[in-house]
Amino acid sequence: MDLTRCGTGMVLLALVLAFFAFLFDDIPAAVAAGALVFFLAARGVAFLSALSSTAASLTVSRTVSSRYVRQGTAIEVTTRVDHTLRPSFFPGLTDLLPDGSALIGGSPAEVHEGMIRYTIAPLSIGEHAFPGIRLTLADLFFTATLTDRRAQSTAPSLTVLPASDYTLSGKDLFGESESRSISPLPSPGIRSFREYLPGDDPRKIDWKLSAKHDALWVREYMGRSDTAQLLIVDLPDASLPFSSEAFTRLKEAAVAAIAPLLSPSRGIPVLLISGANLVSFSPVESNPEKVITLMRQLSPFPRLHHLYRHASTPALRRRYSPLNGNGMSPEIPLEAGHAPTGEPFARSLALVTGSFLSRRTPTTYEAQLARALHPLNTSTAHLFSLAGGDVSHLSLLAEQATLRGMAVHLHIPEESCDLSTRAKINRCSFASVEVV
């Protein structure tokens, strides 16, 4: 039980009056000091009585979406709390999370019409009961916290099963076996060839094939591919207004999407961008709680670099290639009388743009993306973005990921899903778009 500011002020006032009374032998000051002490003592007894009666009236009824779950699975918890309270006291209720669980949605301290609703992800295996409910009572002079751990407040218990992430024994269909160590030596078998991308290891270049096609080609070696998924979050610009509700929902969706994939034995790459600015990149983040905490603490980031209707050099080459019909994209309107259609114009345009494009260097953002995505051996990426304003950075990201064989799934909030944004997103090479 603690004193509030008002209570502390009264204690100090009593001490000052007592000191004055002692110094000047003043009986009225001593009466005032004594009265304040008695006032606080009597009020303390009344406060304890209120705390006891409120705790006795507390009834807790908790339901969970599933009692038997796999590690990292999201569980929705609904707790109904009923209590009676004397007037002039202010209560606060917090539902305590089971050990080893991470909060991924809602708030266990928000009581709405006697109900507390939130979502957790249990990260440690075993049987875990809820630790109870915390009651905080306050009045003008005192505040106290009481943790109710009676049987009715700790039920039900969760049984968390492992995420079945064990090493497989034996050989698979391709004759490869699981290895605990990563070998720096590539496999002698070549799976396929593809065009060279910035950031590729020059040792992988196949010179014979490159000479034949007059372009750099690299070998892709065989090997068991990892099933880890890349998490990308596009933070909103801190200098521009944005919907904080949509951003909160986006963060909760990100946590809910990655929670089942997290386990201490397998890391998840996390890439944070803000427009055309790479904020941070963690190739292997293996601490699940750290990832979830990071997701929950994400905040808008000031954007230093901006892109507007920016396209990558390969995309522009494709657009102005004379082999693609008349070489013009339907996005570029032609004015009648000024733009002749047909082969000569397309060839001239391709020649002019080609001379510019040959000297065009990739932006810093493109180079950063290439360096970040190059070492990843993942086939799926989840991108969470508000998709506000220009989406060139998303388009570049989707293009680079697709070139590396990644399927990028875009998650956008409902507020951003208007016609213009949908049209812009449809032009990007996303594998799917989900509205959260």
Partner 1 sequence: MLPPVRWFLLLCAGEIAVVIAGQVSIPAAVLLQILVPLIIFRSSGAIDSSSTNMVFAAAFGLATVLFTGLLLSFRHTLIPLLLLTAAGLLAVFLITISKYRIDRRYRGTA
Cβ-based nearer residue to partner 1, 28 or 405: 28
Mark the segment that binds partner 1 (CB under 8 A) among 21-29, 178-186, 342-350, 412-420. Answer: 21-29
Whether cis (ω within 30° of 0) applies to the bond prior to 156 is: yes
Cβ-based nearer residue to partner 1, 17 or 349: 17
- Verify binding: residue 307, partner 1, rule CB under 8 A: no
Instruction: List the beta strands (DSSP E) in 83-176.
Output: 90-95, 101-106, 115-122, 126-129, 133-138, 142-148, 157-161
Burial class (CB in 10 A: 0-12, 13-18, 19+), 266: middle
The site map against partner 1 for 114-133 (x = CB under 8 A) is ------------------x-
- Verify binding: residue 22, partner 1, rule CB under 8 A: yes
Q: What is the distance between the terminal CA atoms of the chain, rounded to a whole angstrom?
A: 44
- Verify binding: residue 391, partner 1, rule CB under 8 A: no
- Verify binding: residue 221, partner 1, rule CB under 8 A: no
Main-chain dihedrals φ then ψ at residue 268, nearest 5 degrees: -130, 130
Question: Rounded to whole angstroms, how far apart are CA atoms 158 and 77?
Answer: 11
**Helical segments of 343-418, H only:** 343-358, 364-373, 392-403
- Verify binding: residue 33, partner 1, rule CB under 8 A: yes
- Verify binding: residue 84, partner 1, rule CB under 8 A: no
Mark the segment that binds partner 1 (CB under 8 A) among 50-58, 158-166, 261-269, 401-409. Answer: 50-58
Cβ-based nearer residue to partner 1, 23 or 304: 23
Interface residue with partner 1, options 139, 237, 252, 366 (CB under 8 A): 139
Give 92's strand partners.
136
Cβ-based nearer residue to partner 1, 146 or 431: 146
For the chain, how big is the Rg over CA atoms in Å? Answer: 32
Q: Beta strand pairing status for 217-221 and 133-138? A: unpaired
Q: Tell me the torsion sign for CA atoms 388, 391, 393, 399.
A: positive
Interface residue with partner 1, options 10, 93, 111, 231 (CB under 8 A): 10
374, HSE (Cβ side, Cα atoms, 13 Å): 15
Interface residue with partner 1, options 125, 140, 328, 431 (CB under 8 A): 140
Whether the Cβ atoms of residue 276 and residue 302 lie closer than 8 Å to each other? no
Interface residue with partner 1, options 68, 112, 113, 151 (CB under 8 A): 151
Cβ-based nearer residue to partner 1, 99 or 201: 99
- Verify binding: residue 3, partner 1, rule CB under 8 A: no
Question: Rounded to whole angstroms, how far apart are CA atoms 222 and 294?
Answer: 34
- Verify binding: residue 60, partner 1, rule CB under 8 A: no
Name the 3-class secondary structure at 112. strand
Cβ-based nearer residue to partner 1, 144 or 403: 144
Interface residue with partner 1, options 70, 86, 117, 204 (CB under 8 A): 86
Residues that bind partner 1 (CB under 8 A): 1, 5-6, 9-10, 13, 17-18, 20-22, 25-39, 41-46, 48-52, 55, 86-88, 132, 139-141, 144, 146-151, 153-154
